[in-house]
């Protein structure tokens, strides 16, 4: 029998255990294990505790030199890292005062990325995802959600989702696929939005199941994409077929979060335009509210009202939304820390949003906290104080990343 591996001692370890899924958190609530050890066997956590006590057991030791702070591997619960091409031109046009519609008319917007992504081969898309995953790994992200949504035909969405599946097999991280065929009505679709959604749900959904490509369905509810009324029958169909639901909601106008709560969605993401009415609705619901500060930074617009959501009792996750149009930065820790500074979030709230609350946004119960039985995904930073991590706003990157108990980066 292989001996368990003991990793440590860590000056501080944040297990993120014992904290509620929903609502405000203070830093006083944050459990900290001093001089901690992590005992790992077969990719899972066996025990977290005092390094010196655990040292007496029959273990293989992986010593940690110098002061380090350990925490769960980060979970990025919303990205679009399967894409081809750049939208640097959109960014420049926006910053020189052009509106979203003017940019779309000038050949930019989501449709531009659809055109580029359709031209790319599956091999190129796999390579692009792997390069971007590697960048996320350097930031400590061990689980990444990846959406389709730049194909917008049955075949092109399949190409994207097959690329995500294959990249998952090759990437060091877990990639969690989501079908976002309802990203916008394709410009070359000859029919109504409802007919497009019917085509997707009848022709694409069964293949997602048979090829195990995705068990999550997302839709963009917005004036420039789909109306709430368009999406309701689509979500009904998705739920009947056993898919988890997630929504691009209230980004520019409200309406999406209402649908999310009505369909008991796992998460409602964006929420920059949510008013007190939507905040309270989400606060009372079982739907995770996911803030995407990278989209606010990329578009130069308001942040999601994260403070209000937490105070209303919501479970707040924070994700990067890494995509070529609105959020090209793709640095989860930097964005979460910046959201914290603008929205007055405690460190506990920021770190919960990129660990166990992000796991909840993906309906994953085996990660986001460091305790017995959880996957051994954890990261460490070369510091003696966990408060340094958000203070450096993403500039302090992890010195070590473990995925399934394997050290990936030093
Ligand atoms: O999450 N809001 C819609 N979808 C993406 C943007 C996609 C794009 O502009 O390419 C988002 O921000
Ligand atoms: Fe998005």
From the CA of 277, how far away is ligand 2's center (Å)? 23
From the CA of 220, how far away is ligand 2's center (Å)? 8
CB atoms within 10 A of CB 213: 19
Q: Among the atoms of ligand 1, which is closest to the Cα of residue 83?
A: 10
What average pLDDT does the segment 372-379 reach?
A: 98
User: Could you say which DSSP state residue 259 is in?
Assistant: H
Q: Among the atoms of ligand 1, which is closest to the Cα of residue 150?
A: 10
| Collapsed DSSP state (helix, strand, coil) of residue 173 | coil
Residue among 321, 335, 361 to mutate when testing ligand 1 (max atoms within 8 A of CB) = 321
From the CA of 80, how far away is ligand 2's center (Å)? 6
What is the number of alpha carbons within 13 Å of residue 176 lying toward its C-beta?
A: 23
What average pLDDT does the segment 292-299 reach?
A: 98
From the CA of 55, how far away is ligand 2's center (Å)? 45
Backbone angles phi, psi at 375, to 5 degrees: -60, 145
The CA distance from 177 to 147, in Å, is: 6
User: Is the model's pLDDT at 106 over the cut of 90?
Assistant: no
149 burial level (CB within 10 Å; 0-12, 13-18, 19+): buried
- Report which of 258, 356, 329 is spatially closest to residue 271, judged by C-alpha positions: 258
What average pLDDT does the segment 277-290 reach?
A: 98
ipTM of the prediction? 0.95
User: Is the model's pLDDT at 410 over the cut of 80?
Assistant: no
Residue 251 near residue 295 (C-beta atoms within 8 A): yes
Per-residue pLDDT of 187-240, as tens digits, reads 999 999 999 999 999 999 999 999 999 999 999 999 999 999 999 999 999 999
CB atoms within 10 A of CB 21: 13
Crossing angle of the two packed helices 154-170 and 122-138, in degrees rounded to 10: 50
Q: Which two tokens stand for residue 323?
A: 């995509």
Residue nearest to atom 9 of ligand 1 (CA): 325
The CA distance from 306 to 339, in Å, is: 8
Residues in CB range of 269: below 8 A, 6 or more apart? 77, 78, 246, 247, 248, 249, 290, 292, 319, 321, 361
Q: CA distances (Å), 152 to each of 53, 231, 354, in order?
A: 56, 15, 29
User: Is the model's pLDDT at 98 over the cut of 90?
Assistant: yes
Q: Among the atoms of ligand 1, which is closest to the Cα of residue 180?
A: 4
Residue among 326, 327, 329, 335 to mutate when testing ligand 1 (max atoms within 8 A of CB) = 326
Q: Is the dihedral of CA 64, 70, 73, 78 positive or negative?
A: negative
Q: CA distances (Å), 178 to each of 100, 149, 217, in order?
A: 25, 9, 6
Q: Which two tokens stand for residue 42?
A: 């077969």
From the CA of 325, how far away is ligand 1's center (Å)? 6
| Collapsed DSSP state (helix, strand, coil) of residue 57 | coil
Q: Among the atoms of ligand 1, which is closest to the Cα of residue 110?
A: 10
From the CA of 326, how far away is ligand 1's center (Å)? 6
pLDDT of 101: 80
Residue nearest to atom 12 of ligand 1 (CA): 326
pLDDT of 303: 98
pLDDT of 364: 98
What average pLDDT does the segment 275-293 reach?
A: 98
Strands 316-318 and 378-381: unpaired
Helices and strands counted in the chain (H then E): 17, 16
Q: Where exactly are the structural domains of the chain?
A: 5-73+369-409, 75-361
pLDDT of 107: 87
The CA distance from 60 to 387, in Å, is: 31
Residue 181 near residue 152 (C-beta atoms within 8 A): yes
Per-residue pLDDT of 165-178, as tens digits, reads 999 999 999 999 99
- The answer to pTM > 0.95 is yes
Residue nearest to atom 1 of ligand 1 (CA): 321
Q: CA distances (Å), 168 to each of 62, 143, 171, 241, in order?
A: 27, 10, 5, 24
pLDDT class for 125, splitting at 50, 70, 90?
very high
Residue among 77, 80, 256 to mutate when testing ligand 1 (max atoms within 8 A of CB) = 80
From the CA of 170, how far away is ligand 2's center (Å)? 24
Q: Write down the mean pLDDT value for the chain.
A: 97
User: Is the model's pLDDT at 406 over the cut of 90?
Assistant: yes
The CA distance from 84 to 124, in Å, is: 8
The CA distance from 94 to 137, in Å, is: 30
Q: CA distances (Å), 218 to each of 183, 330, 364, 393, in order?
A: 8, 20, 17, 30
Per-residue pLDDT of 8-54, as tens digits, reads 999 999 999 999 999 999 999 999 999 999 999 999 999 999 999 99
User: Is the model's pLDDT at 1 over the cut of 90?
Assistant: no
Residue among 248, 297, 322 to mutate when testing ligand 1 (max atoms within 8 A of CB) = 248
Residue 129 near residue 81 (C-beta atoms within 8 A): yes
Pocket of ligand 1 from Cβ distances under 6 Å: 80, 110, 113, 220, 248, 251, 295, 321, 323-327
Same fold, 5-73+369-409 and 75-361: no
pLDDT of 105: 83
N-term to C-term CA, the chain: 28
Q: What is the CATH code of the structural domain delimited by 5-73+369-409? A: 2.30.40.10
Class of 75-361 per CATH?
alpha beta
């Amino acid at each position: 029998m292989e001996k368990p591996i003991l990793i440590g001692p860590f000056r501080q370890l944040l297990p993120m255990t014992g904290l509620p899924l929903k609502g405000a958190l203070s830093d006083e609530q944050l459990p900290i294990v001093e001089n901690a050890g992590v005992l790992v066997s077969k990719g899972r956590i066996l025990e977290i505790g005092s390094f010196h006590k655990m040292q007496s057991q029959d273990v293989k030791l992986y010593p940690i030199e110098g002061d380090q702070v350990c925490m769960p591997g980060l979970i990025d619960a919303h990205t679009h890292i399967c894409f081809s091409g750049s939208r640097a031109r959109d960014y420049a046009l926006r910053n020189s005062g052009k509106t979203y519609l003017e940019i779309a008319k000038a050949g930019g917007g989501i449709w531009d990325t659809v055109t580029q992504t359709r031209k790319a081969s599956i091999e190129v898309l796999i390579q692009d995802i792997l390069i971007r995953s590697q960048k996320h790994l350097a930031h400590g992200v061990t689980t990444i959600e990846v959406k389709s949504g730049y194909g917008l035909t049955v075949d092109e969405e399949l190409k994207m989702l097959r690329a995500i599946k294959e990249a998952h097999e090759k990437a060091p991280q877990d990639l969690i696929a989501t079908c976002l065929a309802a990203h916008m009505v394709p410009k070359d679709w000859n029919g109504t939005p409802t007919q497009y959604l019917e085509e997707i749900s009848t022709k694409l959904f069964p293949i997602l199941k048979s090829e195990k490509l995705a068990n999550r369905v997302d839709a963009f509810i917005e004036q420039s994409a789909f109306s709430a009324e368009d999406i309701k029958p689509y979500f009904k169909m998705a739920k009947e077929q056993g898919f988890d639901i997630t929504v691009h909601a209230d980004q520019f106008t409200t309406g999406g979060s209402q649908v999310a709560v009505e369909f008991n969605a796992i998460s409602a993401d964006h929420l920059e335009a949510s008013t007190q009415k939507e905040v309270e609705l989400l606060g009372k619901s079982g739907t995770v509210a996911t803030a995407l500060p990278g989209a606010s930074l990329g578009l130069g617009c308001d942040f999601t009202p994260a403070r209000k959501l937490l105070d209303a009792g919501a479970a707040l996750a924070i994700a990067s939304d890494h995509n070529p149009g609105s959020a090209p930065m793709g640095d989860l820790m930097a964005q979460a820390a910046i959201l914290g500074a603008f929205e007055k979030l405690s460190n506990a709230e920021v770190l919960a949003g990129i660990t166990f609350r992000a796991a909840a946004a993906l309906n994953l119960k085996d990660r986001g906290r460091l305790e017995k039985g959880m996957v051994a995904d954890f990261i460490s930073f070369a510091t003696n104080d966990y408060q340094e991590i958000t203070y450096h706003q993403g500039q302090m990157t992890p010195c070590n990343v473990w995925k399934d108990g394997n050290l990936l980066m030093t």
